[in-house]
Structures are given as C-alpha cells and as structure tokens.
Structure 1
Amino acid sequence: MRSEKPKKKKRKWLRITGLILLILLIGIGVYGYTIWNSLTSAVDSMHEPVDRETTKRTETLNLEQQEPFSVLMLGVDERDGDSGRSDTMIVMTVNPEKKSVKMLSIPRDTRTEIVGHGTTDKINHAYAFGGVAMSMDTVENFLDIPIDYYMQINMEGFKDIVDSVGGVTVNNDLDFTYEGVHFPKGEVTLNGEKALKFSRMRYEDPRGDFGRQLRQRLIIQAVLKEGASLNSLTNFDDIFAALSKNIKTNLTFDEMVNIQKNYKQAAGNIEQFTINGTGQKIDGIWYLLVDDAEKTKIQTALKDHLSVK
C-alpha cells in the first residue's frame, strides 16, 4: 500500500471508539443521515461471518443483558512475500459489571496444539493453516475460554486508521531507529506511517517480541484515547473508509450498537498483560514454551473476568 503524506486534521470528532478496532468501545454517536449512511456502509464492508461453533459456552451470549464477552484481534501483515501468518494476536475480555477490559498479548512463537490441523506448532501458524476459524479455535483451546468475536486487521493499512484520527501520541520507553526513523525515549507523536514502523520493530529490542507487543498495545490504546477525547465528527469519510478497507469482523451492526450502549464504561479501565514463557529450540525451530502454572494463571484471570467456569 502506498505511503501518503499525512494530512493535518482537526482533532474534534464524535466518540466513535466502539468502531475503530472494536476496542474503541466508548461511543458511536451518529448525527445526520449522511454520517449514518457512511457508518452502516462501512460496517457492511467490514462484516465477515466465520463458520465455527464454540464449545466453551453452554448458552448463547446476550449483549443486551450486558454479559461479558471476548474478542480475538488478529494483526495480519500483508506485505509482499508475507507468509500469511497473524503476527499480532491480542485477546480482549470486556466486563461491564467490573467496568474493565483485559488485553492479553499472545506471543506469536507460543507453542501449542493447532486445533483442526492435528499438529503442535507456533500459535500464529493457525491463521496460515486455517484462517480466522482455526485461529479462534486454537486460541480458545489454549486459553480455555470462549472466543466470541474476531477482528482481523490489515497491519499495512493500519497506518490509514491512525491517520484518520489525526495521528497518535505515545510514551516510548526505548530509544531506537527503525527503517530510517528515529524514535527517542519519552513522548512521541506519530502519523500512520511512523506508527506502523514503531509497532513493527522487533530485533533491535532486547525484549524481542514482548517489546513489540508492548508498542502495539501502546498504539491501540493511543487510538482509543484519541477517539475517547473527541466530541464532534469532521472527517468521518476518512475514518469509515480506513475501517472498511482494513478490518474484517463477525460483529454485526446491531452488536456494535449494543456494545456502544451497554459496555462503554468498561473501556475506561484497560489492563494490559502478556504470557511469559521460556524460549527453546525444538528440531531447529525456536518456540516460546509456556508452563502449566503460567497457563493456569492466565486462564483463571480471563475466566474470572468473563464470569465463566
């Protein structure tokens, strides 16, 4: 996708956080037929059902009853030569009663059973083997929680989403240069192109993939913060166009409206965490091995947040 010089944009918007990447659950307020029509068209373009059944829920999820739910975010890098694996995997659980969101980053090299493929491999290979459905099944099995929804994001096009909200500001904890751009420690303001590079860097970070996951979450939260702070909409066409081109989800328009209506207070309290493990080579391939104690700790925290056993 071509890089475009970011335009200067006014930073006053309607609270559309429930639509941008779903974690922007704070409020879709839509005024006027033109905006409403653009919104519904964007959601129609984004909507892509997935053919699967969860075994982790005994009853159908009811958003109108404000039941906790989960979302698997898949960041798929579609650059030339990319293998099609999901380089970014983030599970979010949303609990309106506790007024909180838990955001779990799953390292892409995590070794686990690939459900439906009959192999044990890196967890991000599930997408290459079986797309969204196999990714959801594999993550659901690994975490032992229901995965209710997915959101697939084209990471190359993610820069368009950042630009559509006028750029983001993050607090960078590592001084580094990547692909010709210097990112100093401290507060940095990023346009879409720089935000994409900021979130991609991996090998120069002594924390490896964990550092990259941290920066990805910083960008996502920054978009959330930007959307939450804005109260009138001026460039809705840019936003909706960026969303419709770069996001696919099984969420329907009505479900998004229910989330906006019943869950927006939860987005004010986001807890970020990741999975710890030990790096090890098996048959010449590097994996992250997660022991039973760590897996149980993560599973228990997410089950409690979702109010499931």
Structure 2
Amino acid sequence: MRAEKRKKKKKILITIIALIAVFVFTTGGYAYYLWQKAASTVANIHQPIEKSKKRNSDIDINNQDPFSVLIMGVDERKNDKGRADSLIYMTVNAKTKTTEMVSIPRDTYTEIIGRGKTDKINHSYAFGGVQMTVDTVENLLDVPVDYFIKVNMESFRDTVDTLGGVKVNSKFAFNFEGHSFAKGNITLNGDEALAYTRMRKQDPNGDFGRQDRQRQVIEGIINEGASISSVTKFSDMFNVIEKNVKTNLTFDDMWDIQSGYKDARSNIIQHQLKGNGTKINGIYYYKVDDSSLSGITAKLKQNLDLKK
C-alpha cells in the first residue's frame, strides 16, 4: 500500500503561492522523506485567522470553489515589529481558469479596522498583526480574504542564496544600499535581491515599480526552485520557509489547490489601484480613486462568483 502511494506521488509538488514559497519537486528514493518534511513544515507555519465576515458560507476547495488569498510581505527587522510593505490580493477561479491580482500601495490611506482611525494601510500590521491587516484589506476592497500567506521580506536573502541566485530583468539602472544594478537581464545574490526589492524612491513608478520588482524576484525564486535536485538544498529551503512564512493554509489545502487550480495560473490579470499622492499634516499618503476602487472590487467579486 505504501509502495503504491509512493509511486503515485513520485513527483511532489507543493506550492505556497507566495512570495517566497517554493515547494518542490523531485523523483527518486527520497521522495517520501520530502513529502513528510513538507507536511511537517506546513504544520509548523500554520496560523489560523477568523472566518471572513464577507462570506455567507464556507468555500469547498474539493469542489473547486473560487477562493482568495492575501500575500503579505512584512519587513520585519531586529527590534522592529514590522509593517506590511507589500500587499497582494488574488482571486483564483478554477472553472474560468483565471487569477485576478491587485497590489495595494503601502501608503494607501484607509480605515484601520479595529484601530478606530484612518492611516497608511501598511501600519495595520504594526498595530494588530495579521488579523488586523486582513480585516483592513477586506474593508478596503469589500471582498473576503479566505487565505493569507505572510512572508518576512528578510527571507529573500536566505532563499536566494540557498538557490544560488535568481535572474531578473531590471527596467533601468540604479544604485541602492551599496549595490549597483544594470539595466536588462541580471543575476542577483541574496543581499542584492533584498536591496532590489526595497528600492522605491528612485523608481519613476514609485510603489508600483517596487511591487513589480518584488514579483520578478518571486518568479525567479519559483523558476530556480523548480530545478532543485539535492536533498541538502531541499532541507535548507524548508528551514528558510519554516523561519519566515506563516499561513492559514493546511497541507491538504495546498495539495488540493495545486492539483485542482493549476490551470488558473495560465491567465493572470493584474489590476492597478489608481489614485493620487497627497500630504496630510505633512505626512505622505496615497488616496485611491473611488471609481477605480469600485471597478476593481466588481471584477474581484465576479471572479469569486460573488454578487456585486
């Protein structure tokens, strides 16, 4: 029975969508070991959140119900609780084979749910952790957050170094934090990848350009992760994930999503929250345009099969 199970799962693929989440693949005699190690890792990074009040009923992944996930890139440094500097909300629909994605600028001026004040959305994590950030995003976009993946942005360094570097396509040349980045296709080590994803003020597209560079690094990590072949690298990657990732996804959830929703990755539609920068009491904020927000909300709800 066990031998049959090993044969069926000879190639293991577990995808933790996020930003850093590379899960893996292999064939050969150590496949069962990796399966157990992956399950153990996911159990250790599991963190539950409250059920969304935007849902009237539970979703059923086995039935391929559309679902949403909020990816939180948190810049947690020593002696600093951190802020959610990268927020990417996605809806995934297996039946239409479509993933809708919107990045939320870190300076977005909005109500912080549970705090009783209006502030930059990235402060929600510092005020109330994952739950307050989830509640605030739900309120801003008027959509449910079914799952979240929180990644410590510092882990970019360890992840990239474990993989031996990642390839990106820099849209312009710039210098940042002691590193020089040429225009075009370049390969980054861990320190360079972290700096590449942090630079914002020199980018003509501001926060949107920064988010694009973060996505490039994540894609590079996934591409490099798919070619991992040694047990040592697998073990190192699991250790990085265990130290830097939290999610309410279970191991079974991940397996069901990988097997039942993989076609939705072939059609990714990205949206941009249009708005304008402004200063209030000398502090910079990004105020989202109401018509842009309502239009994106409608598209996200449609992909979740929710009423507008």
TM-score class, shorter:
0.7 to 0.9
Count of aligned positions: 294
CA gap of 1:29–1:274, structure 2 versus 1, over 3 A, is: farther
| CA contact 1:26–1:260 (8 Å) conserved in 2 | no
* 2:54 aligned residue: 56
Amino acid at match of 2:42: V
| CA contact 1:200–1:212 (8 Å) conserved in 2 | yes
Counterpart Cα distance in 1 of 2:209 and 2:255: 34
TM-score of the pair, normalised by structure 2: 0.88
What secondary structure does 1:213 align onto? helix
- Among 112, 118, 134, the residue aligned to 1:120: 118
* 2:165 aligned residue: 167
TM-score of the pair, normalised by structure 1: 0.87
What secondary structure does 1:56 align onto? coil
Counterpart Cα distance in 2 of 1:64 and 1:297: 30
What secondary structure does 1:91 align onto? strand
Question: CA offset at residue 69 of structure 1?
Answer: 1.0
| CA contact 1:95–1:101 (8 Å) conserved in 2 | yes
What secondary structure does 2:261 align onto? helix
- Among 244, 247, 250, the residue aligned to 2:248: 250
What does 1:185-264 correspond to in 2, within 5 Å?
A: 185-228=183-226, 230=227, 234=231, 235-264=233-262
- Give structure 1 stretches of 5+ with no counterpart: 1-13
* 1:136 aligned residue: 134
| CA contact 2:19–2:218 (8 Å) conserved in 1 | no
Question: CA offset at residue 58 of structure 1?
Answer: 1.1
Counterpart Cα distance in 2 of 1:39 and 1:132: 23
CA gap of 1:62–1:240, structure 2 versus 1, over 3 A, is: same
- Among 105, 108, 115, the residue aligned to 2:106: 108
* 1:265 aligned residue: 263
- Give structure 2 stretches of 5+ with no counterpart: 1-10
RMSD: 2.3
* 1:35 aligned residue: 34
CA gap of 1:145–1:300, structure 2 versus 1, over 3 A, is: same
Amino acid at match of 1:32: A
Counterpart Cα distance in 1 of 2:12 and 2:269: 21
Counterpart Cα distance in 1 of 2:255 and 2:98: 18
What secondary structure does 2:274 align onto? coil
Counterpart Cα distance in 2 of 1:104 and 1:95: 15
* 2:143 aligned residue: 145
Question: CA offset at residue 164 of structure 1?
Answer: 3.2
Amino acid at match of 1:278: N
What secondary structure does 1:60 align onto? coil
What does 1:268-279 correspond to in 2, within 5 Å?
A: 268-279=266-277
Counterpart Cα distance in 2 of 1:165 and 1:94: 28
| CA contact 2:81–2:126 (8 Å) conserved in 1 | yes
Amino acid at match of 2:51: E
| CA contact 2:271–2:296 (8 Å) conserved in 1 | no
* 1:11 aligned residue: none
CA gap of 1:16–1:22, structure 2 versus 1, over 3 A, is: farther
* 2:298 aligned residue: 300
| CA contact 2:25–2:228 (8 Å) conserved in 1 | no
CA gap of 1:73–1:207, structure 2 versus 1, over 3 A, is: same
